[in-house]
Amino acid sequence: MELTITGAGTRLGGRWVVDGVDATPPQGALTGLLGPNGAGKTTLLRLVAGLLVPERGAVLVDDSPVHDLPRRERARRIALVEQESSSTVPLTVREVVALGRIPFRSLWGADEDEGAVDRALDAAQASGLADRAWSTLSGGERQRVHIARALAQQPSLLLLDEPTNHLDISAQLSLLAFVRDLRITSVAALHDLNLAAAFCEHVLVLSAGRLVAAGHPNDVLQPELLRDVYGVSAEVLAHPRTGRPVIAFHESAVDTAPTAVAHDAFSHVTATHQSEDTR
Amino acid sequence: MPMSRQSRPAVALATTALVLGLAACSSGSPTSTATTVAPAASTAFAPVTLDNCGTAVKVTTPPQHVVTIKSTATEMMLALGLGDRLVGTAFADGPVPDEWAAAAADVPVISPQVPGQEALLGLEPDFVYAGWESNFSADGAGDRAALAKLGIGTYVSPAACKEPEYMPDPLTFDDVFGEVREVGSIFGVVDRADAVVDEMKETLESAKTPAEPTTALWYSSGTDTPYVGAGIGSPQMIMDAAGLTNIFSDVHDTWTSAGWEKIVDADPDVIVLVDATWNTAADKIALLESNAATRQLTSVREKRYLTLPFAATEAGVRNADAVVSLDEQLAALDQ
Amino acid sequence: MTGPTRTSAPEATRPARRGRVPLAPVVVVGVVVLVVTVLVAVAIGPAGLGVGEVARSIGGHLGLDVAPVPRLHDAIVWDLRLPRVLTAAAVGAGLALSGAVMQSLTRNPLADPYLLGLSSGASLGAVAVLVVGVSLLLPVAAFAGALLALLATFSLARTGGTLTPGRAVLAGLAVSQLCAAGTSLVIFWTATGDSYREILTWLLGSLAGSTWESVAIAGTAVLLVGGIVLAQAVRLDAFAFGDTAAGALGIDVDRTRWTLMTLVALLTGAMVAVSGAIGFVGLVLPHAVVTLTGPSHRRLLPVTALAGAVFLVWADTLARTLFDPRELPVGIVTALVGVPVFAVLLRRRQGAAWS
C-alpha cells in the first residue's frame, strides 16, 4: 500500500490544525509521527484514515484519494487504533476482535473467513485472553486486543495513535517491536522520542500543524530540532548496540518556548523514503 | 389529579310542591302544583355546630351571601328556596332543572370549573357550599381553615367526605335526607327541609320497580376502560331504590374502573347511561355499538338504555327523581 | 509480543460468565415460549371461561369444525382477549427492540424508546384529542404528536448535519419537557369530570382498548420496521467503541444513526399510538437479555424482541386479573415489576460494564 500525503490540510473550529503536510511514509515499515501536544498528530491520522476530508491537498493510497474509496473497502485496507477507546458494552475479547471483521461481513453477519479472528488473536499474542471480559483487562492487555482487532481487518495500512500510552516499559518495547516486525506500512503517533528513535524506520515531525522534519531518526532527531520543536535541550548519543539515537535530556527546559518553525528550516534533513537505514 | 366521584347523602328536594321536572331526557313532564318559592323568611333559626367531614362548622346567624360549587350544592339551595341568597355558582355539571331556572338566572356563574380563591373572595361571600371535598384546596376555592379565618363558613356535602370515618358506606337515602336537614338547619329553613325530604320520600314510594329481576350496568364514562357504578355510592343507592341489580354491586367502592370482559360475561339486561356534556349518552352508545365485543351484548342489540343527567346522579335533591325516571324508562322499554 | 504478563487479579482470568449459546435454538425456544404464553394468557380472564371453551372459540374462527360456543363467550375470547394479548405481544416486542437500539445508538444504558421526546409528543396529541372528545382519532393524533416531537428533537440536535448522541439526548429531554408542560396545560385548562381518568390511563399506558386493528398496526410495525432494524444489527455492533472507531470500521456513522433513530421513532410512535406510553419495557428488557445472549446485536435484538413480547403479555394479564374486576393500567404493572428487576440487574453488573 503506497501512501502519499500531498499538502494535506484541514481546519477545526477555524484553525488550521493540519497545515500543508507532504509525506511519503515508506512501505512495509514503521513510521513515527512526532510532535508536541496539539501539533495535529491525531488529526493527521484521521485524515489518513479517511475519517476527515482534507480541505487542502490530498491523501492518496495507491494513487487514489483515500476519501473516495467506498467505506467498507477503506476499512479493509486501513485500520486505526485510537488513543483512548473505552466501552461500556459487556464484550468479550473475542467479540472485540470480531468487530474488526465488520468490513467483511455481509448484511446478515456471515463472515467467510471464520478463522480470521483466531489468527488475529494469535498474531497479537492475545489468544489467552480470548474468552475474558473486556472490562476486566489491564491497560496493556486492552492495547493488545485493540491491535488484534485492527489486525482482524487485514489492513495494508496500520495507524496507531499513541499506542504506548498506558503501558509499562516492557510492554511498550514489545508492542513497537511487534508492529515493526509486522512489515505492514504503519504510522504511529508517539510521545516518547527514544522509542521512536529505536523502532521507527522513518519519522515525521509536526509542529503547529506543519511538517518540520521527515527522515530517518538518525538524521532527524538532532538537538536543534528538539530545542525548536519541543523546547527541550538534550544531547543525542548513539546506542551502543544499534547505533540508533538515544536522547539524553538536560534537566531544565530551554528558555525560549518552542516556536512554529518555518517549513523549510530543516529541509536538509528531509529525506525521501529511499534513504538507507543501515548504520 | 383525577378526582373520583364521591357519594353524597341525598340532598332533599326542595319545594313542598311536587315539582318533579326532571332535566333528564326522559319525559317526566313537570307537574307543578302551587309551589312558589317563598321569600327568604327564615323560620326560627337556632345556632348550629356541626362536624362536617372533620371540620367544625359553627353557624351563629344564617348566611346571606352564599357561593355554591357543583350542581348538587346549587340545586340544594334552590330546592330549599334559598336562591336569593346565592351570590355565585361554579362548576355546574349540567343545566339547572327548568323549575328553578328562573331563580337561578340572575345568579352569576363564577367559573365553569373550580373557582380560584380571588374570584371567589371578590364576591364577598360569607359561606361556601361545595359538592366535593377537593373543591376546597389551596389552588381551588381555598383551604377551609383559611376561609374560616376570613369569616367565611364552609360546608361540604357529607356524601363526598373521603375520610373513612365520614364516608358513607354504603350511601343511603337517609344520608341524603340528612344533608337536606343539615343544610336546612344552617340556613334556618328547617320546615322547608322537612318538606323536601317528605316529598322525596313520596317520590321514592311512587317508583314502580320492575316485576322481574333486572340486572344493570351503570356506565359513567371511559372508553377502553369503562368507569362504572360500584357497590357503595350513589349509583348503587339509586339502582337499589329503582329495583335494579347492579352487576358490580360486590365491588366495595363508589365507582370503579372495570374491564369490558366482566361486563360482556354478565350481559346486563339494561345499561344506565350517564349523560354529561363531556361524555354524552350518545357518545357512549356509539362506543358500545362500535366495539366488537360489546355490540354483542343483549342490551346493546336491543337498545335497552336508560339515561340520566349527570347532575342527578350524584347525591343530591334529584336522586329520587332519578329513581323514578329509571323505572319509567324501563317500563317504556318493555312496552 | 513476549514478556511476562503483569498479573491481574485471579478472578479476572476466569472466562466471562456469559455462555455463548448458539442463536438458532434460543430463537426457537423464544418463539415457542411466546406462543404458549399467548395461548395461556387468552385462557385467563375475569370471566371464568374454561380452557375447552377458549380453544373451541379460537378453533371456530380458524375454520375448524368444533362445537359452537355461546355468542358472548365467543366475543370475549375473539374480540376482547385475543386481540389484546396479540397487541401486548407486538407492543412488547416493539418497545423492547426500540429500547435496545436506542441504548446502543446513544451509548447510554439508561436510554429508552422515549428518549427523543416521542412519548411526550404522543401524550400531547392524545390528550388534546381526549379532551376535545374525539377519542376515535386517538391513535392518529398520538402518532402525529410523536413524529412532530421527533422533528423538533432532530432540528434541535443537528449541528451541520451530524447527529451526536449527546446532543440527541439533550434535545430529546428538552422536547419531552416542553410536551409534558403542554400536556399539563391542556389537562388543567380543559379537563372536566371524568376525563382525568381517561387521560391518566392513557398516560400510564393501557392495552384495554385493543382491537384487531391495533393488532394489525402494532404487528405490521414490529415486523416491518423490526426487520429493517435487524438488518442493521452488524452496524450497531460497530458503535461499541465510539463514533471514530465505527467510522474506521467502515460504517457511515451519521447516516446509520439518522436512519436507525428514525426507524425507532416510527416503531415507537406506532406502539404509543396503540397503547399509550408503557414504560420500563424498553429500558429493562435489553439489560435482562444481554446477560443471556451477549452484546452482539444479531443475537441481542431478536431475543430482546421475543422477551419483550412475553413480558408484556404477562404484565397485561396481571393488570387485568390481579384486582378483578378492576383493571389496572399496564404501565403500573411494568413499573412495579421493572424497577426491582432493574435494581437486581444493577447489582449483578456493578462495576464491570458500567464503570
What domains appear along chain C, each with residue ranges and CATH number? 49-343 (1.10.3470.10)
C205/A154 Cα distance (integer angstroms): 50
Contact at CB, C212 and B292, closer than 8 angstroms: yes
Which amino acid belongs to residue B191?
D
Per-residue pLDDT reduced to its tens digit, C75-97: 899 999 999 999 999 999 999 99
Interface pTM, i.e. ipTM: 0.84
> In a 3-state reduction of DSSP, which class is residue A252?
strand
Give the residue with greater pLDDT, C48 vs B264: B264
- The gap from C-alpha A153 to its chain's centroid, in whole angstroms, comes to 16
* Residue A264: partners with Cβ closer than 8 Å, 6 or more residues away: none
- Chain C residues inside the 8 Å CB shell of B3: 196
Angstroms from C177 CA to nearest CA on chain B: 19
Inspect the structure and tell me whether chains A and B have 3 or more CB pairs less than 8 Å apart: no
Nearest chain C residue to B132, by CA: C193
B18 burial via Cβ count (<10 Å: 0-12, 13-18, 19+) = middle
Contact at CB, A109 and C234, closer than 8 angstroms: yes
Rg (CA), chain A: 19
State residue B15's pLDDT score.
43
Contact at CB, C193 and B276, closer than 8 angstroms: yes
Contact at CB, B278 and C133, closer than 8 angstroms: yes
Which whole number is the average pLDDT over B282-288? 92
A124 vs A85, A128, A143, A146, B305, CA distance in Å?
Answer: 18, 10, 10, 9, 81
| pLDDT beyond 70 at A263 | no
- Chain C residues inside the 8 Å CB shell of A155: none
Q: Which class is domain B214-334?
A: alpha beta
Mean of per-residue pLDDT scores for chain A? 87
Mean of per-residue pLDDT scores for chain B? 84
Nearest chain C residue to B2, by CA: C196
State residue C194's pLDDT score.
64
Angle at A199 between CA A120 and CA A76, to 5 degrees: 35
Contact at CB, B93 and C209, closer than 8 angstroms: no
| pLDDT beyond 50 at B27 | no
- Chain B residues inside the 8 Å CB shell of C81: 261
Percent of chain B with pLDDT over 90: 55
B171/C301 Cα distance (integer angstroms): 55
A89/A98 Cα distance (integer angstroms): 14
Among 3.30.390.30, 3.40.50.1980, 3.40.50.1100, 3.40.50.1000, name the CATH number for the domain at B48-206.
3.40.50.1980
DSSP classification of residue C241: G
Mutation for testing the C interface, residue in A91, A138, A168 having most C CBs under 10 Å: A91
Strands A185-189, A157-161: pairing kind: parallel
Query: Do the domains at B48-206 and B214-334 have one common CATH topology?
Result: yes
Which among C48, C73, C206 is the nearest to B224, CB-wise?
C206
B314/B132 Cα distance (integer angstroms): 10
| Residue C84 touches partner B, C-beta closer than 8 Å | no
Confidence of residue B3 (pLDDT cuts 50, 70, 90): very low
- Residue B208 dihedral angles phi and psi, to the nearest 5°: -100, 100
- Chain C residues inside the 8 Å CB shell of B267: 72
Contact at CB, B2 and C212, closer than 8 angstroms: no
State residue B176's pLDDT score.
94
Mutation for testing the B interface, residue in C44, C49, C72 having most B CBs under 10 Å: C72
State residue A81's pLDDT score.
94
Per-residue pLDDT reduced to its tens digit, C37-67: 999 999 998 887 888 888 889 988 988 888 8
- Chain C residues inside the 8 Å CB shell of A51: 244, 247-248
Lowest mean pLDDT: which of A126-130, B24-28, B90-94? B24-28
- Chain B residues inside the 8 Å CB shell of C45: 261
A35 burial via Cβ count (<10 Å: 0-12, 13-18, 19+) = buried
Mutation for testing the A interface, residue in C249, C251, C287, C299 having most A CBs under 10 Å: C249
CB B110 within 8 A of CB B87: no
Angstroms from A163 CA to nearest CA on chain C: 14
State residue C10's pLDDT score.
41
List the domain boundaries for chain B.
Answer: 48-206, 214-334
| pLDDT beyond 70 at B12 | no
A206/A8 Cα distance (integer angstroms): 13
- Residue C114 dihedral angles phi and psi, to the nearest 5°: -95, 10
Contact at CB, B292 and C196, closer than 8 angstroms: no
Angle at C342 between CA C341 and CA C343, to 5 degrees: 90
- The gap from C-alpha C293 to its chain's centroid, in whole angstroms, comes to 18
- Chain C residues inside the 8 Å CB shell of A71: 247, 250-252
- Chain A residues inside the 8 Å CB shell of C238: 99, 102
Cα distance from N-terminal residue to C-terminal residue, chain C: 29
Cα distance from N-terminal residue to C-terminal residue, chain B: 44
| pLDDT beyond 60 at A242 | yes
C21 vs C16, C42, C280, C300, C301, CA distance in Å?
Answer: 13, 31, 26, 12, 15
The string over B94-118, giving b where at least 16 C-beta atoms fall within 10 Å of a residue's C-beta and e elsewhere, is bebbebbeebbeebeebbebbbbbe
| pLDDT beyond 50 at B53 | yes
Torsion from C-alpha of C123, C125, C130, C131, nearest 10 degrees? 100
Low-confidence stretches of chain C (pLDDT beneath 50): 1-18, 351-355
Cell of B328: 319509567
Angstroms from C164 CA to nearest CA on chain A: 16
Q: Quick one: how many helices (H) and strands (E) in chain C?
A: 15, 0
Closest C-alpha to A221, from A37, A45, A41, A32: A32
| pLDDT beyond 50 at B79 | yes
Per-residue pLDDT reduced to its tens digit, A169-220: 888 898 899 999 999 999 999 999 999 999 999 999 999 999 999 999 999 9
Contact at CB, C352 and A132, closer than 8 angstroms: no
Lowest mean pLDDT: which of A57-66, A180-189, B75-84, C109-118? C109-118
Torsion from C-alpha of C242, C246, C252, C258, nearest 10 degrees? -30
| pLDDT beyond 80 at B74 | yes
B228 vs B52, B222, B225, B330, C191, CA distance in Å?
Answer: 28, 9, 9, 19, 19
- Residue B66 dihedral angles phi and psi, to the nearest 5°: -110, 140
Nearest chain C residue to B259, by CA: C327
Angle at B131 between CA B125 and CA B133, to 5 degrees: 95
State residue C96's pLDDT score.
96
Angstroms from C338 CA to nearest CA on chain B: 23
Superfamily of domain A3-269: P-loop containing nucleotide triphosphate hydrolases (3.40.50.300)
Chain C neighbours, 3+ Cβ pairs < 8 A: A, B
**The sheet that has A3-12: what strands, in order across it?**
A15-23, A3-12, A56-61, A64-65
C172/C175 Cα distance (integer angstroms): 5
Contact at CB, C193 and B224, closer than 8 angstroms: no
C89/C311 Cα distance (integer angstroms): 8
